[in-house]
Amino acid sequence: MSANQNDTKEEIDKIICEIKDITDFDVEQDFIENDFFDSFDIMNLVMALEEKFRVEIDPDDITPENLASVSSILGLVNNSGAQV
């Protein structure tokens, strides 16, 4: 993983902590399987990702598979055109 991708992953971690109002979380967990995000969290996450990385996430890409982990969210950001 490149330094830019590590930085992006750290930014995603920060966004998740802000949305959930927590300081730490298990990055290995499956967010969907563990009901980590509710629908409001997902809406806030997508908006924060779009703002932070200056991308537009296609609504068709907002799927459980793309939101299941930090790595899958990183892939979603990358696939949405972020320069990371």
pTM over 0.85: yes
Cα 24 to chain centroid, rounded: 15
Side-chain half-sphere exposure of 36, counting CA atoms within 13 A: 23
Q: Is 35 a catalytic residue?
A: no
Q: What is the predicted pLDDT for the residue at 84?
A: 60
Q: Could you tell me the fold of the domain covering 3-78?
A: 1.10.1200
Q: Name the region of 35 (left: φ>0; alpha: ψ -120 to 50; beta: rest).
A: left
Selecting among 38, 58, 60, 61, the annotated active-site residue is 38
Ramachandran category for residue 13: left, alpha or beta (phi over 0 → left; psi -120 to 50 → alpha): alpha
Amino acid at 75: G
N-term to C-term CA, the chain? 11
5-64: pLDDT as tens digits:
889 999 999 999 999 999 999 888 999 999 999 999 999 999 999 999 999 999 999 999
